[in-house]
Amino acid sequence: MASGFDDIGTEPAMDGSSLYREEIFTDRKAGTIRVLTPVQPSGSPDLGRKVLYVGEAQLLTTAGALPLSFEIDARSLEDAVAKYGSAAKEAFAQAVQELQELRRQASSSIIVPDRGIGGLGPGGLPGGGRIKLT
C-alpha cells in the first residue's frame, strides 16, 4: 500500500484550465450552498464557463450523519437558495434509495463454507473453517 506521494509513482498536479473560486453561504439551519466561480490560472473570472451551485446537507441515520452534496441547477445565488429545498429532497430520496439497495444486497449475500478437494477441507476434514461472502 502506498504510504506517500513518492510511493504512487506520480506527482499530484492541479489542472489550471479547470480552476474555481469557492464561496460558502449558509443560513446555519438547513445547510450550505457552495458557489464555484470559474477562474483562469491568473485568478481572473473565466466567462466561458458556467458558475456552479452545490448544496450540502446531512441525512441522519442510525449509524450517524451522512453528508450529502448535490448540484443545484441555478442562474444566481438567489435562484440557488430558492431551489435548495427541492434539490435537497431529491438528494435525500436518492441517498435513501441507494442505502436500501445496499441493505438488500447485504441481506442477499450467501455464506458458503470453504471447500477443499472432493468437498473436504484442508487435511481431509469437511468444511474448512472459513466463511466467504459471495
**Which strand (E) or helix (H) includes residue 24?**
strand 19-26
**Looking at residue 71, what is its pLDDT?**
97
pLDDT tens series, the chain, 134 aa:
556 656 667 888 999 899 999 999 999 998 999 999 999 999 999 999 999 999 999 988 888 888 999 999 999 999 999 999 999 999 999 998 998 898 888 887 766 666 555 555 555 555 555 555 55
The three state secondary structure string of 25-76 is EECCCCCEEEEEEEECCCCCECCCCCCEEEEEEEEEECCEEEEEEEEECCCC
**Looking at residue 49, what is its pLDDT?**
96
**Looking at residue 92, what is its pLDDT?**
93
CA–CA separation, 38 and 18 (whole Å): 7
**Looking at residue 24, what is its pLDDT?**
98
**Looking at residue 26, what is its pLDDT?**
96
Task: Please state whether the predicted TM-score (pTM) of the whole model is above 0.75.
Answer: no
